[in-house]
């Protein structure tokens, strides 16, 4: 049954990077026109292709996961899919009503009550007044704002506003649904509701496009995954295959726009202490960035100090790909002391066993004085840690951290 | 054109929602509330009466000058408020436009609709003034309906052009108050058409608002039909503006989210 509901063919999107970021004045435009008449090309320098030649189609009931680094073009693609903007080249066609769980609550007016905003937002999303009327109680119940429904939403907490926005969007009954970071909204019980809603929509054979930084969310829910890289489709296919290739690529990508290339090799003059290098190695001290859960990881911090710093504490923290901190460990100033000027000192952190689940993680390194709380050095994203392999891929766990565990049946 | 009518019909609920939002938000936390809809034309009426009638002795086609001025002012205010709010409506709703798709012209139609409420309130006072000045209304008052429709279409066409331009060139926001002010003085708001020299009249009547405002006065104050020839010219210009504005606006709309 070839029932195509979304069809993109050679879609490309160009943005112009003009002085003053898009807000132009007539004067600018005359200058541009003038230089064009003189045959000078002002375009090439000022333009940026956010998407190039994106081609794919989705059939009814398909669930597509969209992954890629920040700036890969995911948001631009969503904007095209939601018809907020049109492609510069190529064609896009969608059959059926489109709904977007992106930027929910964008249509809210702070002075209006929750009730008025439900009708307003529902109308913006394409529902008729009667339709909203029919779903009103369910929307209010979903958002858990019954008591405040006639209060202007400027008095709502930000969580309440987001819940209300999500509730309206989730009840638009679209044929094609775009979801951006479904789990970024609300507390745990509300997230459970959202996931149930997603499951419900899946059963109703809706076509869903799902964007998330959380790769396990993507593999869990999608039937296919599209990997966007610098505006082009790098890969599309089976969720596990694409996510694995994506992770592989992240570790290979040594430097880039990030600070990941391990920083400067010298300490700047005047700085009392500096981290020069951070390297990862396996249990046999072989340089390595890819580990399985349960492996031993050696993290060597090379530093340079200009004077004795008995109070200095080294701190290594791990965060997920979105920059969400997972936890850190620091040295004990009583057992590790910098007693004099060191040209190249090395501190080793041993994580054994590694208790992270499959994913890409980055390391932050800091040196601080625990008494004055003064930071001598803060280095973000100095190294990347890829966790992959048989144990890490097992389906018995979820989230980032693995808890050593046993289950027992007592009765 | 048919597309535009169909779109207005299909998105009527959205247009009403936007209009309600604007009306409610406009008068929230104000002490005088909707009375503000009266204060603008009313204060202008006082100024016009002093300047044009008392100081400059401008005639008013036999009607008492205050009601003569007020009748021109309420319809002009409706027109100019529609255009000035409509023009900035895209930028005022920038967050919405950047994030959600909906037919952008609904913002313009909703501005007209919200303006209609202010006009209706202003008309209540107008009715009271007619009663006070003992001016009898005849069947000719029905001419007001086609006149309002014509005026709304003209305002929509004009504001479609300025709104699309304003997204790209914020210069419009600065130029518009000036243009609207000049336009008001080029329309028979504070003075009757009869004071325009005969040789200038053919050019003067090229301003589509001239026939419309004059038409209102004839229909309500004098109880006669509008100048049909002038009104036909006005209608042709209005259709021309609309025919130009619709495709331009729909084309510009495609990139609003990128440049706004």
Mean per-residue pLDDT over chain A, rounded: 83
- Give yes or no for B251 touching A (CB within 8 A): no
Is residue A257 included in any domain, yes or no? no
Q: What is the pLDDT of residue A38?
A: 62
Name the residue in chain A with its Cα closest to that of B256.
Answer: A85
Residues A135 and A186 in one domain: yes
Is residue A339 included in any domain, yes or no? yes
Residues A215 and A307 in one domain: no
Sheet bearing A273-281, strands edge to edge: A273-281, A297-305, A342-351
Domain range annotation of chain B? 2-259
Strand partners, A56: A8
| Confidence band of A257 (pLDDT split at 50, 70, 90) | very low
Sequence-separated (6 or more) residues with CB below 8 Å from residue B147: B212, B215, B216, B219, B226
d(CA A284, CA A287): 9
Sequence-separated (6 or more) residues with CB below 8 Å from residue A21: none
Q: What does the H/E/C string look like for A71-109?
A: CCCHHHHHHHHCCCCCCCEEEEEECCCEEEECCCCCCCC
Which of B20, B99, B170 lies closest to A102 in CB terms? Answer: B99
Probe site for chain A from B258, B259, B260 (most A CB atoms < 10 A)? B258
Helical segments of A67-225, H only:
74-81, 114-124, 129-143, 158-170, 188-203, 215-221
Q: What is the pLDDT of residue A44?
A: 53
How many contacts does A have with B, using Cβ atoms within 8 A? 79
**β-pair type (A374-387, A359-369):** antiparallel
Q: Length of chain A in residues, anyone?
A: 411
Angle between helices B208-217 and B228-253 (to 10 degrees): 130
Residues 163-182 of B with CB under 8 A from A: 168-171
**Residues on chain A touching B99 (C-beta within 8 angstroms):** 84, 102-103, 106
Residues A242 and A299 in one domain: no
Write the pLDDT tens digit of every residue in B44-92: 999 999 999 999 999 988 899 999 999 999 999 999 999 999 999 999 9
CATH code for the domain in which residue A234 is found: 3.40.50.300
Rounded to a whole number of angstroms, the distance between the first and last alpha carbons of chain B is 26
Sequence-separated (6 or more) residues with CB below 8 Å from residue A87: A11, A12, A13, A51, A80
Q: How far is CA A188 from the centre of its chain?
A: 19
**Rounded to whole angstroms, what are the CA distances from B155 to A147, B85, B113?**
43, 11, 12
- For A312, the token pair is 């200095």
Range of the domain at A86: 4-252
Number of domains composing chain A: 2
Nearest CA distance, B106 vs chain A (angstrom): 10
Residues A37 and A135 in one domain: yes
Higher per-residue confidence, A338 vs A29:
A338
Residues A197 and A312 in one domain: no
In this prediction the pTM is: 0.78
- Give yes or no for B25 touching A (CB within 8 A): yes
For the segment B124-128, the average pLDDT, to the nearest whole number, is 94
Strand partners, A279: A300
Residues A320 and A242 in one domain: no
- Give yes or no for B29 touching A (CB within 8 A): yes
| Complex ipTM more than 0.90, yes or no | no
Across the interface, do A84 and B18 touch by the CB < 8 Å criterion? no
Probe site for chain A from B11, B22, B90, B100 (most A CB atoms < 10 A)? B100
d(CA A103, CA A212): 14
d(CA A280, CA A302): 12
Residues A20 and A65 in one domain: yes
d(CA A359, CA B80): 59
């Amino acid at each position: 049954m070839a029932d195509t509901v979304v069809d993109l063919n050679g879609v490309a999107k160009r943005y112009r990077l003009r002085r003053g970021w898009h807000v132009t004045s007539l004067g600018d435009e005359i200058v541009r026109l003038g230089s064009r008449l003189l045959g000078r090309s002002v375009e090439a320098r000022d333009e940026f292709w956010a998407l190039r030649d994106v081609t794919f189609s989705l059939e009814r009931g398909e669930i597509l996961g969209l992954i890629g680094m920040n700036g890969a073009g995911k948001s631009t693609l969503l904007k095209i899919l939601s018809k907020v903007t049109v492609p510069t080249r190529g064609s896009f066609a969608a059959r059926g009503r489109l709904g977007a769980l992106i930027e929910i609550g964008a249509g809210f007016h702070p002075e209006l009550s929750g009730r008025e905003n439900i009708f307003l937002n529902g109308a913006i999303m394409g529902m008729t007044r009667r339709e909203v009327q029919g779903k009103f109680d369910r929307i209010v119940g979903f958002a858990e704002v019954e008591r405040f429904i006639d209060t202007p939403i400027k008095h709502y907490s930000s969580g309440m506003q987001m819940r209300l926005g999500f509730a309206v969007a989730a009840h638009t009954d679209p044929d094609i649904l775009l979801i951006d970071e479904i789990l970024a909204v609300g507390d745990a019980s509300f997230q459970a509701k959202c996931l149930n809603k997603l499951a419900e929509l899946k059963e109703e054979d809706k076509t869903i496009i799902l964007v998330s930084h959380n790769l396990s969310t993507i593999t869990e829910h999608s039937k296919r995954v599209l990997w966007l890289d610098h505006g082009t489709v790098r890969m599309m296919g089976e969720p596990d295959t694409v996510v694995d290739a994506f992770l592989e690529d992240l570790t290979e990508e040594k430097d880039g726009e990030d600070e990941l290339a391990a920083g400067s090799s010298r300490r700047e003059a005047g700085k009392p202490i500096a981290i020069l290098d951070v390297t990862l190695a396996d249990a046999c001290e072989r340089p390595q960035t890819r580990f399985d859960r349960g492996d031993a990881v050696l993290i060597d911090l090379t530093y340079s100090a200009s004077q004795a710093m008995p109070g200095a504490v080294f701190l290594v923290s791990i965060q997920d790909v979105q920059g969400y901190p997972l936890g850190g460990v620091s040295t004990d100033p009583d057992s590790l002391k910098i007693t004099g000027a060191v040209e190249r000192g090395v501190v080793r952190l041993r994580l054994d066993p590694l208790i992270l689940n499959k994913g890409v993680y980055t390391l932050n390194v800091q040196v601080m004085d625990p008494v004055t709380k003064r930071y001598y050095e803060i280095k973000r994203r100095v190294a990347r840690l890829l966790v992959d392999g048989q144990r890490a891929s097992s389906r018995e766990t979820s989230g980032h951290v693995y808890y050593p565990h046993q289950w027992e049946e007592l009765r | 054109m048919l597309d535009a009518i169909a779109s207005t019909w299909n998105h009527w609920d959205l247009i009403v929602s936007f209009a309600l939002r604007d009306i409610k938000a406009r008068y929230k936390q104000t002490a005088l509330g909707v009375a503000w809809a009266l204060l603008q034309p009313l204060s202008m009426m006082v100024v016009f009466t002093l300047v044009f009638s008392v100081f400059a002795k401008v005639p008013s086609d036999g009607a008492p000058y205050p009601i003569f001025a007020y009748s021109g002012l309420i319809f002009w205010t409706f027109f100019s408020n529609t255009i000035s709010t409509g023009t900035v409506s895209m930028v005022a709703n920038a967050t919405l436009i950047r994030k959600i798709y909906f037919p952008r012209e609904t913002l313009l139609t909703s501005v007209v609709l919200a303006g209609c409420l202010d006009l209706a309130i202003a008309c209540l006072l107008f009715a009271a003034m007619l009663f006070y000045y003992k001016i009898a209304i005849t069947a000719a008052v029905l001419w007001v309906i086609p006149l309002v429709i014509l005026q709304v279409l003209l305002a929509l066409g004009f504001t479609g052009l300025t709104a699309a331009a304003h997204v790209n060139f914020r210069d419009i926001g600065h130029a518009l108050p000036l243009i609207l002010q000049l336009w008001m003085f080029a329309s028979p708001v504070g003075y009757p058409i009869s004071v325009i020299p005969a040789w200038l009249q053919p050019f003067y009547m090229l301003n589509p608002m001239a026939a419309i405002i004059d038409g209102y006065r004839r229909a309500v104050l004098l109880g006669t039909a509008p100048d049909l020839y002038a009104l036909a010219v006005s209608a042709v210009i209005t259709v021309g503006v609309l025919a130009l504005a619709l495709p331009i606006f729909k084309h510009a709309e495609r990139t609003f989210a990128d440049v706004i």
